[in-house]
Amino acid sequence: MTKTYSYAHGASLTPLLSETVGARLDAQAAATPEAEALVVVRQNVRWSYDRLRRETDAFAAGLVALGLKPGDRIGIWSPNNAEWVVTQFATAKAGLILVNINPAYRAHELEYALNKVGCVALILSPAFKTSDYIGILSGLAPEISGCAPGDLQAARLPSLRIVIRMGQEETAGMYNFGEIPGLAGPGDWARLEEVKASLQFDDPINIQFTSGTTGQPKGATLTHHNILNNGFFIGECMRLTPADSLCIPVPLYHCFGMVLGVLACVTHGSAMVFPGEGFDPLATLQTVAEEHCTGLHGVPTMFIAEMDHPEFATFDLSSLRTGIMAGSPCPIEVMRRAIATMNLNEITIAYGMTETSPVSFQTTVDDPVERRVSTVGRIHPHLEVKIVDAEGRVVPRGVAGELCTRGYSVMLGYWGEKERTAEAIDSARWMHTGDLATIDAEGYCNIVGRIKDLVIRGGENVYPREIEEFLYTHPKIADVQVFGVPDERYGEEICAWVRLRAGESLTEEEVRGFCHGQIAHYKIPRYVRFVDEFPMTVTGKMQKFIMRAKMAEELGVRAAVTA
């Protein structure tokens, strides 16, 4: 009997798009100029596709006027707002590489990200929640208070020249977002048109940082072709049309917001609806009801928070039909509950990674409910997948192994990291995900574990090594091991086992306090335990699975997810 191997190809009669992100927006604006494109509730923004095109063109021309050239890296550090969406398309039109900076980043992480990819410019919000962005940046670059806008020369941020702040207030050394379009003259507009005409769909357009096992994030470099096509086929799975309006409470800095949200909508003429700067369950429910949204995105914890809200039953969610639950393992019962109580009869699950633009697998509205709640679907159109064993050999269907993806969605590589790129993408262009998965006889995929120690907390990917590297800088800590433990709300929580230097003492709160303001809040360990030794193999390798089991037993928790 012939074996059926764990290989699948997303054969499709629908061709890949062969245009740039900016060209696609312009084409959509030409096709449906008056259709609603962007709604940002908090800012009272309600723009048509033609208005969005004009706003992005004007801002792009202003960026050209500032002297920014194709290939320059420009960071954006902000929560969700209209300026973020404008920047996403304006940078694409001007041939710039947009560098997404996590709104939760603090000084240490911001400095690393800006310097790693050599950002020439930075667009930032004044503040978000407890983060004073202007204050943090000023701490890293105190020279900004004495320089003219566009002429920053900071010792710790040597590449950064231009800082653009959002809002109406003025800050020394910074341009205001609203004044950028006015900087452009006829020559700048002409130059913008030249740039647009010269751009190729394989040009890099976006750098997204993904946490690394060596303790520092890696900059996944994505092209127009990568993310535009991924957004298109995501929307196809959801059957988006110009009649749809998608509520997007997930962050724009992440692929979930800017690809599964923005680009899925723009490639189908649908409306993008943003309920707020960050996730708030009540604001999301209000927005869905008031805007009659037909789709809703979120990680499982977001859907749980919405359904558990005391006012949930008062909202009319009958307009909903579709959306995506992704970014974290999806509990079966949460999916079933969302279908039953939120009218999300055509909700889908998506799986992928930043390095693959990001979605590789997705359920469709036609899949049986049982498949949609218990798997991550089948391979996307025009992509290939194989499941391999430790020797790299393809395993039979139903056998677990490492999931590898190949196709248009695979990133160019990690910015400035040839060796690490080669570790992730082999000579045949297969992206090795590090996830353990199975594929059944019908091609449905199930994620059964992770080869590395990636922790997914509330949709955020966290690599323990990054936290460990930071905690090692504490003068009282001799050794530390960080891992995830199951958590009903976030899927997983961060736990740190700490071994102190001889004669030293620390409390759990002191360890967490050391992290506050230095690393993102979601990376700060919820649980801290002080130990004298760690379980290890005879060769000295840490056995985190033993640590995880002991903590799970102590806390009385267990994993209850299927994907």
Per-residue pLDDT reduced to its tens digit, 522-542: 999 999 999 998 886 543 457
346 contacts 321 by C-beta, under 8 angstroms: yes
Q: Give the span between the Cα atoms of 124 and 108, in whole angstroms.
A: 16
Q: Which residue(s) pair with 40 in the sheet?
A: 45, 274
CA atoms within 13 A on the CB side of 334: 28
Q: Give the span between the Cα atoms of 523 and 552, in whole angstroms.
A: 19
Among candidate residues 218, 245, 271, the one where a domain is terminated: 218
In a domain, 248, yes or no: no
Residue 546 sits in a domain whose CATH number is 3.30.300.30
pLDDT digits (tens, 9 = 90+) for 282-292: 999 999 999 99
Among candidate residues 181, 198, 218, the one where a domain is terminated: 218
Among candidate residues 181, 197, 218, the one where a domain is terminated: 218
Residue 116 sits in a domain whose CATH number is 3.40.50.980
- When divided into structural domains, the chain yields a total of 2
Nearest to 403 by CA among 458, 441, 360: 360
Main-chain phi, psi angles of 211, to 5 degrees? -60, 145
Q: Quote the strand ranges of 488-551, DSSP E.
A: 491-500, 527-530
In a domain, 252, yes or no: no
Which residue's entry shows tokens 């960050």? 278
In a domain, 72, yes or no: yes
φ/ψ bin of 7: left (φ > 0), alpha (ψ from -120 to 50), beta (otherwise)? beta
In a domain, 251, yes or no: no
DSSP class of 17: P
In a domain, 135, yes or no: yes
In a domain, 100, yes or no: yes
Which domain, by its residues, includes 170?
23-218
pLDDT in tens, the chain (563 residues): 457 999 999 999 999 999 999 999 999 999 999 999 999 999 999 999 999 999 999 999 999 999 999 999 999 999 999 999 999 999 999 999 999 999 989 999 999 999 999 999 999 999 999 999 999 999 999 999 999 999 999 999 999 999 999 999 999 999 999 999 999 999 999 999 999 999 999 999 999 998 644 457 899 999 999 999 999 999 999 999 999 999 999 999 999 999 999 999 999 999 999 999 999 999 999 999 999 999 999 988 799 889 989 999 999 999 999 999 987 667 677 888 899 999 999 999 999 999 999 999 999 999 988 888 889 999 999 999 999 998 999 999 999 889 999 999 999 999 999 999 999 999 999 999 988 889 999 999 988 766 767 788 998 878 777 898 789 889 999 888 899 999 989 999 999 999 898 899 999 999 999 999 999 999 999 999 999 988 865 434 578 889 999 999 999 886 443 33
Main-chain phi, psi angles of 557, to 5 degrees? -125, 160
In a domain, 48, yes or no: yes
CA atoms within 13 A on the CB side of 309: 20
Q: Give the span between the Cα atoms of 525 and 512, in whole angstroms.
A: 7
